[in-house]
Amino acid sequence: MNDFLLHKANLIMQLRSQSITDKSILSAVEKVPREKFVPESLRQHAYENASLPIAGNQTISQPYVVARMTQELAMKQSDRVLEIGTGSGYQTAILSFLARRIYTVERIRPLLVSAENQLKALKISNVLFRHADGHLGWPEAAPFEKIIVTCQIKNIPETLKAQLKDGGILVAPVGEAGKEILLKVTRNGDQFKMEELMAVRFVPMVAGTAS
């Protein structure tokens, strides 16, 4: 455990050096035990600033990417946030400390169940889970102040843009697989301002669901 604490402290120092300046995000990274969200065989690597494989041919994102996407959302404690791609649940857990309610959607049922169990074990209670196609979002809970997409998409689905509140922010990796750019999208009425942030690599968003 002491090793994890030391490695976590080193990771937080790295994030600070990479311009993660939001103290609430750094605090969330400190609170969430990333080792609980990676396969047991990889736990010694939990606090490396790198993505790691998880079940279902998916990945847990690099901590810097998690922190950067979260920082770009400029979250407020009153926000309702839609997350597309629950995955391991690590990003979900980080978000849970920064907003009022998180609505998270995952197409692979075993991943969703594992993430839900892990967050319950951590006594995180402001997250709602749904097994569904991420392209559809969560229409009956819309609009959302913030939307985060944690899988590669060629274009932002109109369904998700429609579920973003006026003045809201959406962050997503957009483009051809392997060439995607992290985009920050800010809604102003029917206009959507696009800002390119950095090159990233994510697993693709896939239509439908898997049991």
Catalytic, out of 51, 61, 88, 114: 61
Q: CA 194 → CA 150, 157, 163, 170, 185, distances in Å?
A: 17, 14, 16, 10, 5
Catalytic residue list contains 114? no
Instruction: State residue 78 phi and psi, 5-degree precision.
Output: -85, -5
Contact 43, 51 (CB under 8 A): no
Q: CA angle 89-69-62, nearest 5°?
A: 60
**C-alpha–C-alpha distance, residues 61 and 68, integer Å:** 11
**C-alpha–C-alpha distance, residues 108 and 211, integer Å:** 6
Partners of 149 in the beta sheet? 84
Cis check for the bond before 204: say yes or no (omega within 30 of 0): no
Helix, strand and coil in the chain, % to nearest 5: 40, 30, 35
Q: CA 127 → CA 49, 122, 188, distances in Å?
A: 26, 12, 27
Q: Identify which of 120, 123, 89 has the alpha carbon closest to the alpha carbon of residue 105.
A: 89
Q: Active-site positions?
A: 61
